[in-house]
Each structure stands twice: as structure tokens, then as C-alpha cells.
Amino acid sequence: MLGKNTLKRHAELVDQMATHVGVDLEDSAIGGDVSIDQISDAVLRCSDCSNPDHCAQFLAQSAQGQKTPEYCRNTSLFDRLTSLSESKRDG
């Protein structure tokens, strides 16, 4: 079982990565684009990452608006939410 601190750290990484790619998870959840269960699943996928320190370093050093790193376990979720967010802005 994952500890509280581990889950909290990965929840923060998921939120930071979403923000990094231009997605506001809270707005996406309120708008119905993502469920709380899907966000929870994203945190669990993130917690399976073997190198969260590299992810944190990537987020600290990369310009906002870039793609997720190739090893990110939530790339498909973030890509889908980014597309939805862009289409709402354009539409």
C-alpha cells in the first residue's frame, strides 16, 4: 500500500504536469472532461514511475507549454485534455 506522503507527492506531480501542458485539472473536472476517478488513476499511474525526481526536475527546468516527457505514464490523458481544452478555446 502506498503511503500518504507518496500519494501526495505524485498528486502534486500530476497537477504540475497538467499545468505544464496547459491543462487545469480542476476546470477539466468541473467541465466534465475528466472524472475524479480518472485523476485518481493518473496519480496511481504516476506513483508507478521509477524516477519521480527526474520528473520534478523536468518540471522545474522546462518551459510551460511543452509536451510531457516520453516516460510520462499519463501522456495520453494529458494529450486528450489538452485537445479538449484547445477546442473549447477555439470553439
Number of domains in the chain: 1
Q: Which has the closest alpha carbon to 11: 33, 26, 31, 30?
A: 26
Crossing angle of the two packed helices 4-20 and 75-90, in degrees rounded to 10:
40
Please tell me the predicted confidence (pLDDT) of residue 22: 92
Range of the domain at 86: 4-90
Whole-structure pTM value: 0.91
Work out the number of other CB atoms within 10 angstroms of the CB of residue 50: 6
Please tell me the predicted confidence (pLDDT) of residue 91: 65
What are the tens digits of pLDDT across the range 42-77? 999 999 998 899 999 999 998 888 899 999 999 999
